[in-house]
Structure 1
Amino acid sequence: MPELHDISERRASLSAEQRARLKERLRGASAGMQQQAGTSTIPPRPHRDRAPLSFAQRRQWFLWKLDPARTAYHLSGGLVLGGQLDTDALRASLQALVDRHESLRTVFREAGDGEAEQVIREAVEVALPCIDLSTLDADARDAAIRREEHRIRAEPFDLTHGPLMRAVLLKTDARTHRLLVVMHHIVSDGWSVQLTLDELAALYAARVHGQAAVLPALPVQYADYAVWQNQWLDGGEGERQLVWWRDQLGTGQPVISLQTDRPRNADGRYGSARVTVALPGDTLDRLRQSAASEGATLFMALLAGFNALLFRHTGQTDARVGVPIANRNRADTAGVVGFFVNTQVLRSQIDARTTLAQLLVQTRDTAIGAQTHQDLPFEQLVGALRPERSLSANPLFQVMFNHVRRDHRSLAEWPGVSVERLDFEEEDAQFELTLQTLEFEDGRVEASFLYADELFDRETVERMA
């Protein structure tokens, strides 16, 4: 499942001296925003059974209405469970997750005025079908696993009826199971994926031990946040942040023109493929040292490198890259499953004389400025800047960079069961090109280039990597 990592967390990894330098740059520009964000409390919504859509959900609703069968916004993944699995405890744990998080009980409908709203169901029963493949021979079993994995991931969601999370358990031999889970992005995001993994482990362990799970109380639910977000941004904060973004991005919104091996489709729909490379340890050491010397993070150094790569392949001196952020800068949203993630558009201005050191400083300052104006929804930015719209190109940016950190600690908390994370390749490409860098607990980094299969030959992307 895709994971998203907030710039604020990357900032926490800096040394004390680096944080002090960063704090000095943030002082003044961010003071008002941080005071407002830190002290504002999200109140309970007036109607418990319904709420308006958040700004991010509005775009997802529009995209689903446009193409209900598209799978690009399905979050899918799973776990390989080895040992004596208590399937009843697993089913009960999944039910407890759904009972705890309203987003997993939410569907969507158009109200009488034509506006969409989210409807929170009081109770939703979790279905966990168990398919026994253990009696098949190895070849037939492998084929059946691939078939079931494709089926659960490719089946469209009906946002008006739900459920918007589905799961299936595959028994592959006497002591091995595969738990496959798919959620629609309109009710979840990468941070939520990590939450569900952590809470599922705690709920399962408590159930197996005959105890009540001790999970922190949720001060708010996602629908409370959606009501608050609409009111807060309408109250003037949205306009204040928009002023900064207008100044940052300017009036022209250039489209990145990557040289493709085949013509683009008119509808902008493509299958997804991937090229992955491991970054050498000595290269990572130099990157971290260069970043530290400029008060920057590894994320900023990697993004600067990606900007340089785009300049080399396009020759464009003004480029924009989409960068997802967790958008969880309020403590009461940290433990809530929902679609909080926001996408920022980070601009780079490069020419043949720009050094990598200069580009790193520019990238650092742009990222810091964006972090202090992170609450403006991407959808509002698009509406305000009014870029030329086309089905063949995403508005404001056409390539994405996502830096991800993996946290596998909860996988060791399943009693009597060994657990491995199960990731799937994306079937539909959201963008023509995405660079996803995956940072592991031991400091290793893998870089994956996700690309539109119909546009690029694999050899082209391998040369880019």
Structure 2
Amino acid sequence: MKAPTAGLGSAVQGSALAEVWPLSPLQEGLLFHADFDGGDRPDTYTVQSVLSVEGPLDAARLRTAWQVLLARHPALRASFHRRASGEAVQLIMREVTLPWTEADLSDRTETAAHTELDRLVRAERARRIDPAVAPLLRLLLVRLGAREHRLVLTSHHILLDGWSLPVLLDELTTIYEADGDTSSLAPVTSYRAYLAWLARQDKEAARTAWRTELAGAEEPTLVATATPPAPGTAAPTRRSVHLSTETTSALTDLARTHGLTLNTVVQGVWALVLARLSGRTDVVFGATVAGRPPELPGAESAIGLFINTVPVRVRLDGAQPVLRMLAELQEHHTALMPHQHLGLADIQSAAGPGATFDTLLVYENYPRTGRQSPAPDTVTFSSVEARQATHYPLSIGIAPDERLRVDVTYHPDLVDEQLGEALGGILARVLEQVVGDPSVPVGRVGVLIGPERGLVLEGWGATAGGVPAGLVPELVAEWVREFAGAVALVEGDRSLSYGELWAASGRVASYLAGVGVRRGDRVAVVMERSVDLVAVLLGVWRAGAAYVPVDVGSPVERVSLVLADCVPAVVVCSEATRAVVPEGVGVRVVVVDEPAVVGELAVCGDAPVVRVGPGDVAYVMYTSGSTGVPKGVAVPHGSAAALVG
């Protein structure tokens, strides 16, 4: 459903318009998704809260209280539009009518009533909310008995964040009890004040900070399948796991004792799991931040969408104690707090592809409602269920309480169902390990055990017949079948077709297998960019090995360190780069354009059929590391395929 672009006046009649506001960065993103995903399907960012209402409720009085809330908070009267120029704006109406529906199920049996309640709730969630029509929320009050009701609030995420709901409920209770009187409430801090604060921030300083934070992160961190599904083919699935009260208490004590936040501990543990899923030691994922600036008076009680999504980068060193890793993570978070206002699109544009991710962690650090001990015979509101989703293939929600809850939401078309079902338990188990021994080295934390290890390392992304689906060699093979004669590579006056590239890489794979290269081995490649280099790299993959690219301009000391660390089965170079390979390297050196080797390659037969999975390492990139010593980052075939696909 596209936001209207022209004729904004048609949305406003006479003096109905009160104000015109810009959008926050996240609102811009959500409006884009509303436009992009338009149609009759449910909007991904439809948010729903089901509240239990206990006590002698006056439905008309409750409806009036909600109408007062709409009048009190301008942000609740917003609709979203695009000017003819493409600029997005939100129009704040002077008055809006509250969409209110009632249903009475009190004459039904308990089973029948709850069956019908579930149907009504699902129907409300399935009905799209038009961003161009205010208000972007509606209410359904269901009567189950004389003193028992359910209140279903369905809204668009562009309007409110999770923090705002308990604030609204506190005010709702006060207004209801006062029969519509708001005089006892604090003055409203308008969302417009926050938008003005955003406009005053130093965006260039923020871009520089994020660019520095993500420097050296060269590739996206991806866990989803490389092939996106058709829109709307499957709804997200949510699974929840609760930690024990003892583990939750121990986590809280661990954080408090070491000057950490519980959010930091959870983020660090998710980084450990994500590293195993992606086959990387330098991972980036998304996280939501509250976005309520302490220097803005009244921000903590304001209503609107203040949150922002920002990247979190965690570099993992297997020898580093988990506690130290967590401390460094919190140090980075603290340093970046003044820059968390910058929109994700701006961050990714400034920092490059390394700021791209497809997993999101949401820590629900919301204020608690103020009515902990209500007076007898009064109306009380309590949350029964809350549902929301994101466009990310995999989202982790953390709800701290007496028993910390882990919510895993995944899109079955993008994330393996077995993994999605198991992930909550995996996270809970790693949290328990960290509580048990926070001084354990990162590399010794058992993330995947038993069947889970097989699922991630072998089965994830494979077809039923056991042949990996969509890895780069298979993608190239498909192109060869379709476009064998088409030009694949060009170097000056020389070119290779897809068929010729496939044949050349097959000879390299056959040759490497003949000199002892096996699945999982490392092959160091010391060559300059050329069509021959591409044939060698593809040949290494077809032999089942992983390549380790070595910069031919590196000092000999660095080359020696890289080769000593990766322990290659073979070093492949050209006559032009032979001098870069240190003498006495200790393994076979293959000079691919040396006459004897050229002759041997010419008579090599078909490439061996070596089956590799998405979890097998495709290549190992060496960075300088924080100490200047080269550090290898292993990238699995699944991630490589995601980048190509």
Same fold (TM over 0.5): yes
Task: Name the amino acid aligned to 1:53.
Answer: L
| Mapped pair 1:344 → 2:310 | yes
Q: Is the 8 A contact 1:325 1:343 kept in 2?
A: yes
| Mapped pair 1:223 → 2:188 | no
CA 104–411 in structure 1, closer or farther in 2 if over 3 Å, else same:
farther
CA 292–161 in structure 1, closer or farther in 2 if over 3 Å, else same:
closer
Task: Name the amino acid aligned to 1:189.
Answer: D
- Of residues 221, 235, 242, the one that matches 2:207 is 242
What is the number of equivalent residue pairs in this alignment? 402
Deviation at 1:348, TM superposition (A): 0.4
- Of residues 436, 441, 446, the one that matches 2:405 is 446
Q: Which residue of 2 aligns with 1:314?
A: 278
Q: Is the 8 A contact 1:133 1:141 kept in 2?
A: yes
1:196-217 alpha-carbon deviations (Å, 9 max, x no partner): 111111111111xx85551111
1:231-255 alpha-carbon deviations (Å, 9 max, x no partner): x14xxx1101111110001264533
Deviation at 1:259, TM superposition (A): 7.1
CA 160–421 in structure 1, closer or farther in 2 if over 3 Å, else same:
same
Compute the RMSD of aligned alpha carbons.
2.7
CA 253–215 in structure 1, closer or farther in 2 if over 3 Å, else same:
farther
| Mapped pair 1:57 → 2:27 | yes
Q: Which residue of 1 aligns with 2:269?
A: 305
CA 425–453 in structure 1, closer or farther in 2 if over 3 Å, else same:
farther
| Mapped pair 1:403 → 2:367 | no
Runs (5+) with no aligned partner, structure 1: 1-46, 389-394
> What are the within-5 Å matches in structure 2 for residues 131-170 of structure 1?
131-170=103-142
Q: Which residue of 1 aligns with 2:422?
A: 460
> What are the within-5 Å matches in structure 2 for residues 242-321 of structure 1?
242-250=207-215, 252-258=217-223, 264-265=228-229, 270-321=234-285
> What are the within-5 Å matches in structure 2 for residues 35-434 of structure 1?
48-68=18-38, 69-207=41-179, 212-218=182-188, 220-230=189-199, 232-233=200-201, 237-250=202-215, 252-258=217-223, 264-265=228-229, 270-329=234-293, 330-387=296-353, 396-405=356-365, 407-410=368-371, 412-413=373-374, 416-426=378-388, 428-434=389-395
Q: Is the 8 A contact 2:105 2:142 kept in 1?
A: yes
Q: Is the 8 A contact 2:49 2:387 kept in 1?
A: no
- The worse-fitting range, judged by mean Cα deviation, of 410-419 and 179-188 is 410-419
2:324 partner SS:
helix
Runs (5+) with no aligned partner, structure 2: 1-16, 428-645
Task: Name the amino acid aligned to 2:72.
Answer: R
Q: Distance in 1 between matches of 2:231 and 2:106?
A: 42
Q: Which residue of 1 aligns with 2:459?
A: none
1:157-196 alpha-carbon deviations (Å, 9 max, x no partner): 1111232011111112233211110121111111111211
Q: Distance in 1 between matches of 2:233 and 2:370?
A: 37
2:67 partner SS:
helix
CA 52–269 in structure 1, closer or farther in 2 if over 3 Å, else same:
farther
Deviation at 1:429, TM superposition (A): 4.8
1:387-436 alpha-carbon deviations (Å, 9 max, x no partner): 49xxxxxx72211222224624437558622433121444x553222222
**Normalised by the size of structure 2, how large is the TM-score?**
0.58
Q: Is the 8 A contact 1:82 1:417 kept in 2?
A: yes
2:223 partner SS:
coil
Greater relative contact order, per chain length (Cα 8 Å cut-off, separation 6+): 1
2:399 partner SS:
strand
Task: Name the amino acid aligned to 1:460.
Answer: A
Q: Is the 8 A contact 1:54 1:227 kept in 2?
A: no
> What are the within-5 Å matches in structure 2 for residues 25-44 of structure 1?
none
Q: Is the 8 A contact 1:80 1:179 kept in 2?
A: yes
1:353 partner SS:
coil
Q: Is the 8 A contact 1:157 1:184 kept in 2?
A: yes
Task: Name the amino acid aligned to 1:371.
Answer: M
Deviation at 1:263, TM superposition (A): 6.3
Task: Name the amino acid aligned to 1:116.
Answer: A
Deviation at 1:64, TM superposition (A): 0.9
State the structure with more CA Rg: 2
Task: Name the amino acid aligned to 1:364.
Answer: Q
1:252-309 alpha-carbon deviations (Å, 9 max, x no partner): 453333377x965265975222332222344344434443443212221121111112
- The worse-fitting range, judged by mean Cα deviation, of 94-103 and 264-273 is 264-273
Q: Distance in 1 between matches of 2:81 and 2:391?
A: 25
- The worse-fitting range, judged by mean Cα deviation, of 415-424 and 179-188 is 415-424
Q: Distance in 1 between matches of 2:232 and 2:276?
A: 24
